[in-house]
Amino acid sequence: MLRLAAEVSPVERRALALAFVCYFFVLAVFYILRPVRDTVATLVGVGRLQLLFTGTFIGTLVASPLYTWLASHLRLSRLLPAVFWFWLLNVLAFAELFRLAPDSVWLAGAYYVWFSVVNLFMVSVFWTLMVDLFTPIQATRLFALIAAGGELGAIAGPILTRALVSRLGLPGLLVLAAAGFGLVILLVHLLMHEKRRLRERGAQAQVSTLEHDLPGNPFSGFTELFSSGYAFAQAAFIWLMTWVATVGYFFQTDIIAHAFPALAGRAQAIADIDLAVNICTAAVLIFGMGHVLRRLGLTAALVLNPLLMLGAFAALLLAPSLLMIQALQIVRRVGQYAIARPSREICFTVMPQASRYRTKNVIDTVIYRFGDLTSAWTQSGLLAAGFGLAAGAVLAMGGAVLWGGVGGYLGRRYEKLRQLSMGSVS
C-alpha cells in the first residue's frame, strides 16, 4: 500500500507509521466525544444553541492566547504531551460529573462548549507536530497518507460508539475516550523521539528542535496575521473554507428537516452522509491525493476544492433536492478533509518554528470559528430579510471564487518560500 500511495524511503517508514497511527487515535477519540456532545445538546434545547455557539467562540478566543503563553513558558517537548494530558483529565472529570448529574443542563452546556473548543485544538496540535517533523518535500509525499490514518479513525470511532453506548452509557464512552488520549500521549512521545533520531542520523527532517520554549507574548500569533502576507493568506483560506461550508450546513439542515418529519429519519440521513464522507475521504487520501500533490503541485490542489464547491452550489441551485444536498455535503467534506486539509498543512512547513506553534494555532481555531460565526449570522440575516437559502448559495459561489483566488496566491507563495527555505535552519 505504501508503494502504491507514496514513495516512502526506508528511513521515513517508522515516522510515517507512528504519525498514521497517532492521527488514527486522535480522530477516533474525536468521533467518540462528538456524539456525546450532540447528545447532551438535546438537553440544552435548540432555542439556546446560539448561546453555545457564542460560548464556543469566546472559549476559543481565551484558549488560543493561553496556549501561546504556555508555549513561551514550557519546552515544546513538554507542552505537546501536556495538552493531551490536560484533555484526558478533563474527560475523566466530565465522566464522573455525568455519572452524578446526568440530566444537568449546565453540565451539558459546559461539555458542549468544552468539546467545541478542544476539538479544533486536538487536530491543530497534532498537525503542528507534523509540520515541525517533516520537511516540505516529505510533506508533499506523506501528508495525504497521514491524513488517511485519521479518516480510518473517523470510521472506527462512530462504530465503537454505536456498539458500546448501550453498554457503557455516556460516562463509559468518556472513559473510553480518555484511554484513547493515553495512547495518543504515548505516540506523541514516540514521534518526538523519532524527530530527534532523524536529526541525529542526519536524515531528512525539519532541523528545528523541541527542547526549548518559544519566547513571546500570548497575542503574538494574532500579531503575525497582520504583519505577514503569507500568514494572512492562510487565515483567509481557512475563513473562506469554513464560511462556504456553513452555507452548505444551512442547506442540509433545511432540506433534511423538510424531507424527514421524524428525528430518526433525519439522523439516518445525516449518518449516511457521514459514512459516505469518511469512506470516500480515506480512499482518496490513500490512493489519489498523493498523486495529485506530486503531479499537479500544491497550487492546483489548493484551487481544486473551491472549484468543486463552485460547481456543487451551482448544481444545488438548479436542483435543490435531498439527493443533491447529500451529494454536495459529500463533495464538500471529502474535498475539505482529503484535499484542503493535507494541502494547507503543507503550507505551514515553510514557516518559522515559532509560527508553526503560535500563528498556526490562531488560524486553526480562532479564524476557523470566526468563519463559522460570520457565515451563520449572514445566513440568518438573509433568511430574516426574506431572501431565502438561494441567496446564501449565490454568496457561497462568490466566496468559492475568492477562496480559489486565495488558494492560488497561497500556493505560489509557498513555492517561493520553499525554494528559499531549502537548506536553511528554522
What single string gives the DSSP state of each residue in 85-139?
A: HHHHHHHHHHHHHHHH-TT-HHHHHHHHHHHHHHHHHHHHHHHHHHHTTS-HHHH
Question: Which of 86, 61, 411, 82 is closest to 219 using CA atoms?
Answer: 61
Q: What is the mean pLDDT of residues 342-365?
A: 88
**The whole model's pTM is what?**
0.83
Query: Quick check: 422 pLDDT over 70?
Result: no
Q: Per-residue pLDDT for 53 more than 80? A: no
DSSP alpha helices (H): ranges in 45-75?
A: 49-71
Q: What is the mean pLDDT of residues 353-366?
A: 89
Give the pLDDT confidence score for residue 271 in this predicted structure.
60
Instruction: Measure the CA–CA gap between 5 and 147, rounded to whole angstroms.
Output: 12
Give DSSP secondary structure letters for 157-185: HHHHHHHHHHHHHHHHHHHHHHHHHHHHH
With DSSP H G I counted as helix, E B as strand and the rest as coil, what are the percentages for the chain, rounded to 5?
Answer: 85, 0, 15
- How far lies 255's CA from each of 196, 259, 389, in Å? 52, 6, 10
Query: Which residues, including other chains, have CB under 8 Å from residue 229's CB and lie 6 or more apart?
Result: 413
* Mean pLDDT of the residues in the chain: 83
pLDDT at 286: 73
- Taking residues 153-179, report their average pLDDT: 85
**pLDDT on residue 122:** 93
* pLDDT above 90: percentage of residues in the chain: 26
Structural domain contains residue 233: yes
What's the pLDDT at 201?
67
Q: Which residue has the higher pLDDT, 263 or 358?
A: 358
Q: Residue 34: which CATH number?
A: 1.20.1250.20
CB 108 within 8 A of CB 43: yes
Give the percent of the chain with pLDDT over 70. Answer: 88
Is 316 a member of any domain?
A: yes
196 by Cβ neighbours in 10 Å (0-12 / 13-18 / 19+) ranks as: middle
Q: Does residue 426 form part of some domain?
A: no
C-alpha cell at 308: 468543486
pLDDT at position 211, please? Answer: 81
pLDDT level of residue 127 (50, 70, 90 thresholds): very high
Task: Compute the distance between CA of residue 237 and CA of residue 340 in angstroms, rounded to an integer.
Answer: 9
- The region of weakest confidence among 1-5, 93-97, 101-105, 421-425 is 1-5
Closest CA to 313 of 268, 248, 361, 263: 248
pLDDT of residue 226: 85
Residue span of the structural domain in which 363 resides? 2-421
Please tell me the predicted confidence (pLDDT) of residue 88.
Answer: 96
56-70, pLDDT tens digit by residue? 889 999 999 999 899
Which three cell numbers mark 275?
Answer: 459514512
Mean pLDDT computed over 166-175: 85
CA atoms within 13 A on the CB side of 29: 28
State how far the alpha carbon of 186 is from the alpha carbons of 83, 85, 98, 127, 146, in Å: 13, 11, 27, 16, 17
List C-alpha distances in Å: 152 to 66, 128, 145, 147, 342. 31, 20, 11, 9, 15
Of 320 and 245, more confident = 245
State the pLDDT at residue 1. Answer: 47
User: How many distinct structural domains can be found in the chain?
Assistant: 1
Residue 144: predicted pLDDT: 84
- Could you tell me if 346 and 421 are in contact, meaning their C-beta atoms sit under 8 angstroms apart? no
Say if residue 253's pLDDT is above 80: no
Q: CA-to-CA distance for 71 and 359, rounded, in angstroms?
A: 12
At 44 the pLDDT is 61
Confidence of residue 408 (pLDDT cuts 50, 70, 90): very high
- What cell was used for 45? 434545547
pLDDT at 22 over 50: yes
- For the cut 90, the answer to whether the pLDDT of residue 130 exceeds it is yes
